[in-house]
Amino acid sequence: MARFMEEQGIPFSRKLPLGFTFSFPCQQEGLTRDFSAKLIRWTKGFKASGCEGVDVCKMLKDACNRRSESYTIPLVQDIEIDVVALLNDTVGTLMACAFKENTCQASPIGVDVEDSFFISDSDDVSQWKSIILFQMIMNTEWGAFGDDGALRFIHTKYDREVDKSSVNPGKQIFEKMISGMYLGELARVALKEMAQQGLLFGGQTGLLEERGRFSTRFMSDIGSDQDLYSDLAGDEEKKTFQNTEKILGELGFNKITRADCANVAYVCNIITTRAAHLLAAGIATLINRVERPLVTVGIDGSVYRFHPVFPQLLDDKIAELIDENLRYKLMLSEDGSGIGAAVVAAVANRIQSDRTDQKEEEPQQENQNEND
């Protein structure tokens, strides 16, 4: 941040108004300038001791204050920050898209960080109805959907194995079924079992034995092979498996048959399709809930951006699930969380400045009235 200020010519003589994107569940007790947001728990595979239950804004400020000459990177002048907005990354995506398109009413950040927000009328927020004039953003935290067992009916043994080996077993169940962080691991677990049963690679498991070795990126590359999704049951001789063969070679498999490639592609297809359909179910629910004639849904995430068919799978299923009188469109928001945080910070800082100016003008106006 200090280098950014130096490069942009921002004076160090004043505090830097900051929009802070923090992509983890927090307990936020106020919306004043002195933010307090305590980390509830780590998600998305992150884990660090001494942070849960601690104010994340204070930790950031303390980190800025700890800058010293002993730091390994050459320092520029010290900075002071003023956290004027704390956002989840999904709120950031929503605000970034709403800045470009005012019909944006919902934002599941996609398939890297599983959470969602939508804009609700004040009448739907009974607890705060008396103080909310128009609308507010609702955080669903749907990554935790299923933690109570509600998704047990579609939770497979592969899901359970991935969950068990995660840093937060039993938590963020829905996230682990649709997030790009976990899709590759789901595929690895399924493919390893098939190999162990002699259904793949002549019974050899290769590097599939190692957790995390089958990247979600592999699924996007495999999905790029010709006709993989359009006609898996068709003429095998017309299909090419160039990407699939290359990936399997990297995993230690030297003797690969076309049947192996087709089966691996099929497994990846099934997992990708399920993730797209589950995400679509959540998005469709939000669209139906918002009840606007046209809803723009802001999405970010590497799977949505790079997988060749995931966007189409998602789009088709949403169209199938929403009410027939509603329309929607999906908007890709690259680096949406950062841009959205900047937008919110700019607005919050402008509002605060206007209030300060108004307070300064009030005594002058009173004096003028007395003189008159």
What are the angstrom distances between the C-alpha of 372 and each of 51, 359, 362? 59, 21, 15
Give the C-alpha separation, 162 to 326, whole Å: 37
Strands (E), the chain: 16-21, 26-28, 37-39, 81-87, 104-108, 116-121, 135-139, 294-299, 327-332
Residue of 15, 34, 38, 44 with catalytic role:
44
CA separation for the pair 144, 41 (Å, rounded): 11
Answer for the pair 114, 108: CB distance below 8 angstroms, yes or no: yes
Q: Is 354 a catalytic residue?
A: no
Which candidate in 55, 89, 112, 221 is catalytic?
89
Annotated catalytic residue 89: yes
Whether residue 318 contacts residue 284, with contact meaning beta carbons closer than 8 Å, is answered with: yes
Q: In the beta sheet, which residues pair with residue 328?
A: 295
Residue 364 and residue 327 in contact, taking contact as beta carbons nearer than 8 Å: no
Catalytically annotated residues: 44, 89
